[in-house]
Amino acid sequence: MKTTVNLPDGSSRRYDRPVTALEVARDISPRLAEAAVGAEIDGRPCDLSASLDGGSHQFRVITESDRAGLEILRHSAAHVLAQAVVRLYGPGVQYAIGPALMNDFRYGFYYDFDLPNPIGQEDLERIEAEMKRIVSEDLPVVRREVGQEDLFAAMGAAGQSTYKAEMIRGFIDEHLRRGGEVKDFRASLYQQGEFVDLCRGPHLPSTGRLKAFKLLTAAGAYWRGSEANKMLTRIYGVAFFKPAELAEHLHRIEEARKRDHRVIGKQLGLFLISDRVGPGLPLWMPKGAVIRMQLQSWLQGELLRRGYQIVITPHIGKLDLYRTSGHYPYYKDSQYPPIDMGQEGSYLLKPMNCPHHILVYKAQQHSYRDLPVRLAEFGTVYRLEQSGELSGLHRVRGFTQDDAHIFCSPEQLEVEIASCVDLVKLVLETLALSQYSVRLGLRGPGEDKYVGDAEHWTLAEENIRNVVKKLGMNYTEGVGEAVFYGPKIDFVVKDCLGRDWQLGTIQVDYNLPERFELEYIGADNVPHRPVMIHRAPFGSLERFIGILIEHFGGAFPLWLAPVQVAVLPVSEKSNPYAAEVAGRLARADIRAELDDSSEKIGAKIRSASLQKVPYMAVIGQREVESRTVAVRCRTEGDAGAMKIDDFIAALRREIDAKSTASLVAARAS
Ligand SMILES: [Zn+2]
Ligand SMILES: [Zn+2]
C-alpha cells in the first residue's frame, strides 16, 4: 500500500511500505531524527514509533526546541516519577493522574498518589535519586492499544484497581455515549520496564531521554479536585531538555520566593492582614499607605487633566439597586450576604461602583453637548472570595478600584475607548511594566450568564475590536471571558520574572444604560440612550501594589518609596547638622528619615539598605564643615559629596520624572 507523507515545507515523500515517524524523520535528516521527541501526524501529536500505513498524511517532526516537545518531555517525567514512587513505596501505591503543566510559573508536571504511608518534602530527594536510576536504565517506552478486558487486566495486575479502574470505566461510558459499542472500545497503555500506565501519550521513546528535572513540592490534593473525595499526595516537579534551562528556572523560582510580597510587606511594614479584622481585609500601614497615596494622587492628577470628574459614594446600597443593575443575582455567589434591615429592606456591601455612578449621572439632565461625562472614584468594593483562594494582597475581600464610568454617545464611543487604552499604557509604562499583551473578553455560550440583547453585544464586540485594530495592537480573543454586561479589553502584563498578570481593564456596556433608562437629549431635541465604559487601569490598588512589590522586589522607584532619603549622622557630634538636613529635605516635600540612634554608621547603612531606601545622606565631621552630604545610592553605592541644594534639586528631578533609574547618582561627583 502506498503512503504519502506531506512535509511542512510543501515537499512530500512516498513509501511503498508502512513506515514509522522515526524512519520518516531519519529520511529527512539524521540530525533531525536525533533531536526528534515525537511527531505530528495530521495535526495529532504521537510517538516516534507511530506507523504510517497507506493514505496521504500531513507530517511534522516534534523536536526538543518545540513547545509540544517540552510537553512530551514533562509528561514522560511524570511517568518516571510514578515508576520511582512505586519502586520505593511498594505495591500498595496507587497512582491517579499525572499530566504535564505548560502554563504554570513554577511547576512542569505532577502526579497524584494514594500512598500507604504519608510522605513529605524530605522524601523528594530519595524519589529524585530513584528517577535518575530509571533514566540511566534507559528503558524503552512502548505503546500498545488494547480492549477493555486487557486494560482492566493490565492495570489490575499493576495493583491499580481504584483510580485507574474508575478512569477506564469513565472512558468506556464516554465511548458508549458517543454511540460506540463495548467490543470496539480501545485505549492505549504505556509500558517502561515494570511500570505500566493507562495513557493517551505521546511519550519520549525511552526514559534515557529525560535529563534535566527536579522535584519541587509534595502537597495534598483531592481526587478529581472534590472535597468529598479522598485526599491524595501530589508531587510536583519540573523538567527541561537542557540543564541550563532548569538552572535558570530554579533561579527564577528562588527569586520569586525572595520577592514574595507577603514577606517583603512584613519586612518593610507596608500592610497587615489580621484575623481580628478578618481574612482578605488588608490594613495599610503608614509606609504602605504612602505608596498607595502616591499612586492615587498621580492618577487623579492625570484624570483631571483628561476631563474626568471625581465623585465619592458610599460603601453600601440597597439590594434593589443591585437587582436593577443585575449585580444581584449575577454576582450573588461572590458577595457578602445582604444585611437585613427589617422594614427598611436589605442592603448590600457594594460589589461594584457602577450603580452609584449611574445615579450620579441620572441626577441631572444631560444634553449631547455635555457628553462624554467621565465620573471617577477610588471606590472600595467587597467580594466574598473563598477563604482558600485568599493570598496576601493578590486576592482579597475588600479592595479599592481606580474606577471610572464614561457616559457617551455611540458616535463618541471608539474615541473614548482609545483614550482609555492610552491611559492604561501610560500607567503600565510609567511603572516599568511595558511588556504586555492585549486580550479581548467576548461573550460565550450560556444565556443566563449575560444581560442584554444579542444586537448590543455584537456591536460592543465590534467597537473594541475596531479600536485595538486601529491602534495596531496585537491581541488575542477569549470567548466566554466577558463581564455579564459587556465585552472587555484586558491588559496581560509580564513582570520582571516573566509571570503573567491580568491588569487594566476596559469594558463596553450598552446594557446598564438600558436597565437604568439613562438618557441624553440629542441635537435633534429628542432623548437618546448613552453607552457606558467601565475602566480601571490599576484594577484593584491592593492587587496592583502586591504585584509592584514583587516586580520591584520592594526597591520602589524614588517617587513611590515610603522613605526617600535616610539621613545618617556618623556620630552624635553631627546630629544637629543632620537634623537640619532632614528638615530641609522635608520642606522640599522629600520623605526623609533621620536615624540619630547611637548605632555605628555601618549598622545604620545596613538597616537603611534592608529597608530599600533609595538614597542615604551620610553626615560626618567633613560634611558638617563643608555643609554637604555624602550621598549613597541604593543601587550604585557611594556617589560622592553634594551640596544640599544640589542634592535636593537632583532628587526633585528624579521624583518629578517618575524615573525608575537613579538620576541622582549620575549627578553626584
Ligand atoms: Zn500519561
Ligand atoms: Zn463599572
Tell whether 589 is covered by a domain: yes
Of 525, 551, 577, the one marking the end of a domain is 551
Q: Output the CA 146–ligand 1 centroid distance in Å.
A: 16
Mean pLDDT lowest among 198-202, 334-338, 373-377: 334-338
Q: Output the CA 256–ligand 1 centroid distance in Å.
A: 30
User: Cell triple for residue 539?
Assistant: 484594577
CATH number of the CATH domain containing 604: 3.40.50.800
Of 21, 36, 63, the one marking the end of a domain is 63
Domain range for 75 is: 68-256
Known catalytic membership, residue 534: yes
Tell whether 329 is covered by a domain: no
pLDDT confidence of residue 367: 96
Residues 6+ apart with CB under 8 A from 342: none
Q: Output the CA 24–ligand 1 centroid distance in Å.
A: 25
Q: Output the CA 512–ligand 2 centroid distance in Å.
A: 9
Tell whether 273 is covered by a domain: no
pLDDT confidence of residue 326: 84
Mean pLDDT lowest among 32-41, 369-378, 447-456, 535-544: 447-456
Catalytically annotated residue among 75, 259, 374, 405 = 405
| Co-location of 98 and 243 in the same domain | yes
| Co-location of 537 and 575 in the same domain | no
Tell whether 131 is covered by a domain: yes
pLDDT at residue 668 tops 70: no
| Co-location of 308 and 215 in the same domain | no
Known catalytic membership, residue 266: no
pLDDT at residue 632 tops 90: yes
Q: Which residues pair with 317 in a beta bridge?
A: 348
Q: Which residues pair with 403 in a beta bridge?
A: 377
Q: Which ligand is nearest to the CA of 485?
A: 2
Mean pLDDT lowest among 38-42, 44-48, 114-118, 308-312: 114-118
Tell whether 75 is covered by a domain: yes
CA distance 187 to 180: 13
For 660, phi then psi, to 5°, come to: -95, -5
User: Cell triple for residue 325?
Assistant: 443593575
Known catalytic membership, residue 203: no
Catalytically annotated residue among 60, 350, 374, 383 = 383
Tell whether 269 is covered by a domain: no
Tell whether 574 is covered by a domain: yes
Residues 6+ apart with CB under 8 A from 575: 569, 596
Known catalytic membership, residue 405: yes
| Co-location of 31 and 90 in the same domain | no
pLDDT (average), residues 421-436: 93
Q: Output the CA 352–ligand 2 centroid distance in Å.
A: 6
pLDDT confidence of residue 448: 74
pLDDT confidence of residue 666: 65
pLDDT confidence of residue 457: 87
- The pLDDT tens digits for 517-560 are 999 999 999 999 999 999 999 999 999 999 999 999 999 999 99
pLDDT confidence of residue 390: 82
| Co-location of 297 and 441 in the same domain | yes
Catalytically annotated residue among 403, 495, 509, 595 = 403
Q: Which ligand is nearest to the CA of 327?
A: 2
Catalytically annotated residue among 249, 259, 534, 632 = 534
CATH number of the CATH domain containing 386: 3.30.930.10
Q: What is the mean pLDDT of the chain?
A: 93
Q: How confident is the model at residue 29 (pLDDT cuts 50, 70, 90)?
A: very high
Domains held by the chain: number:
4
Q: Which ligand is nearest to the CA of 100?
A: 1
Q: Single out the residue of 219, 290, 228 nearest to residue 564, CA to CA.
A: 290
Q: Are 258 and 552 in contact (CB under 8 A)?
A: no
Tell whether 233 is covered by a domain: yes
Q: Output the CA 113–ligand 1 centroid distance in Å.
A: 14
pLDDT confidence of residue 596: 93
pLDDT confidence of residue 556: 97
Q: Which ligand is nearest to the CA of 325?
A: 2
pLDDT confidence of residue 213: 97
| Co-location of 48 and 94 in the same domain | no
Catalytically annotated residue among 94, 191, 401, 507 = 401
| Co-location of 290 and 221 in the same domain | no
pLDDT confidence of residue 385: 84
Known catalytic membership, residue 402: no
| Co-location of 381 and 402 in the same domain | yes
- The pLDDT tens digits for 252-274 are 999 889 999 999 999 999 999 99
Q: Output the CA 548–ligand 2 centroid distance in Å.
A: 24
pLDDT at residue 669 tops 70: no
Known catalytic membership, residue 488: yes
Of 37, 63, 89, the one marking the end of a domain is 63
CATH number of the CATH domain containing 135: 3.30.980.10
| Co-location of 176 and 116 in the same domain | yes
Helices (H) and strands (E) in the chain, counts: 21, 34
Q: How confident is the model at residue 667 (pLDDT cuts 50, 70, 90)?
A: low
- The pLDDT tens digits for 190-248 are 999 999 999 999 999 999 999 899 999 999 999 998 888 999 999 999 999 999 999 99
Known catalytic membership, residue 126: no
| Co-location of 621 and 513 in the same domain | no
Q: Output the CA 353–ligand 2 centroid distance in Å.
A: 6
pLDDT confidence of residue 638: 87
CATH number of the CATH domain containing 14: 3.10.20.30
Q: Output the CA 500–ligand 1 centroid distance in Å.
A: 28
Q: Output the CA 649–ligand 2 centroid distance in Å.
A: 42
| Co-location of 165 and 48 in the same domain | no
Q: Single out the residue of 632, 649, 650 nearest to residue 641, CA to CA.
A: 632
- Residue ranges near ligand 1 (ion) with Cβ within 5 Å: 199
Q: Judge residue 165's burial from the number of C-beta atoms within 10 Å of its C-beta, 0-12 exposed, 13-18 middle, 19 or more buried.
A: middle
- The pLDDT tens digits for 578-620 are 999 999 999 999 999 999 999 999 999 999 999 999 999 999 9
Q: Are 568 and 616 in contact (CB under 8 A)?
A: yes
| Co-location of 448 and 542 in the same domain | yes
